[in-house]
Amino acid sequence: MNDFIKTLDNQNSDLVTAIKKRAKKTVFRPDSGLPIEVIFGTKERLGLLQTLSKTFGETIIVNNGRQYKLLNNVGIIFGEGMSPQTVTDILQKAKDLGFSSDNFVFGIGAYAYQYITRDTYGIAFKLVSSKDSIEDNYYDLSKTPIDSEFKKELGGIYYSDNFDKLVKVDRPSELTPRDSRFKKYVMS
């Protein structure tokens, strides 16, 4: 998330310039972490809402006779860790800061229904490698959430013959479904 915030905080970055030129709204999905801290920040760092406001500006809108700040051409979508209470807390804090609820889109899943999540079992399927079709290179993809160190991921694709040692696959395209290693993929 630090790199994400740094990129958005840079008024001259290619990403910010491209978003400002778009006619349509761009919605950002922050990484893992406590939703209130990710959206509103902590004493040590700005949150996503303040960063987007600083970078893209805001317009004052009137709703029910009150003025609220609406981010210009950007918004926030958050689904991970959402419960009805968390959504209520976020909207109340946004209101207290003068921001409109129109800046947010929420997804509510496991936390609202049965409270069984991927963290319950400690497993998740993620994109861990990407192939550049022009250069035919593979790139490892991973994340290290700034406030959820236990969710740090390995990048790349691994296999294990005995489930006691992981072996990294350098060229995933060389594996085929008939390859015995294919059936033993372990992806972080």
pLDDT tens digits, one per residue of 135-186: 777 777 777 666 666 667 777 777 666 666 777 777 666 655 555 544 444 4
149-158, Cβ contacts within 8 angstroms, sequence gap of 24 or more: 151/32, 153/126, 153/128, 153/188, 154/128, 154/188, 155/128, 155/129, 155/188, 156/128, 156/129, 156/188, 157/128, 157/129, 157/185, 157/187, 158/185, 158/186, 158/187, 158/188
pLDDT over 50 at 188, yes or no: no
Q: Walk me through the domains of the chain, giving residue ranges and CATH numbers.
A: 2-106 (3.20.20.70), 125-187 (no CATH)
pTM for this model (two decimals): 0.63
pLDDT of residue 117: 64
Pairing of strands 137-140, 129-132: antiparallel
pLDDT in tens, 56-107: 999 999 988 999 999 999 999 987 777 788 899 999 999 999 999 999 998 8
